[in-house]
Amino acid sequence: MNQSIVNKNAFWNKDLAPTGVSQRTFRWFDFAALWVGMVVCIPPYTLAGSLIKVGLSAPQAILTVFLGNAIAARHGERSEGA
């Protein structure tokens, strides 16, 4: 990151900086555990319930929520490298 921008930004410090590639130790199991933990919150249940109400089957709704989370996670990975 450009040091002059960092010095001017009161909302940035080393604790808030993105981790480097060498510091990223998550593997597939860690990601799966995180995703399961995130699914236990209300929004995915609400989304799946809404999808079922508009006509999707339960497996289709679950798959849709899973794919949405996977796409968002993958997009987040790509954004960090930019």
Domain annotation covers residue 3: no
Domain annotation covers residue 59: yes
> pLDDT confidence of 4, banded at 50, 70, 90?
low
- Which residue segment(s) compose the domain that 51 sits in? 25-81
Domain annotation covers residue 13: no
Rounded Cα distance, 44 and 65, in Å: 7
Domain annotation covers residue 7: no
Domain annotation covers residue 10: no
pLDDT tens-place string over residues 9-43: 777 777 877 888 888 888 888 888 887 777 677 88
Domain annotation covers residue 14: no
| Exposure letters 39-69 (e unless 16+ CB within 10 A, then b) | eeeeebeeebeebeeeeeeeeebbeebeeee
Mean pLDDT of 58-73: 89
Domain count across the chain: 1
Domain annotation covers residue 40: yes
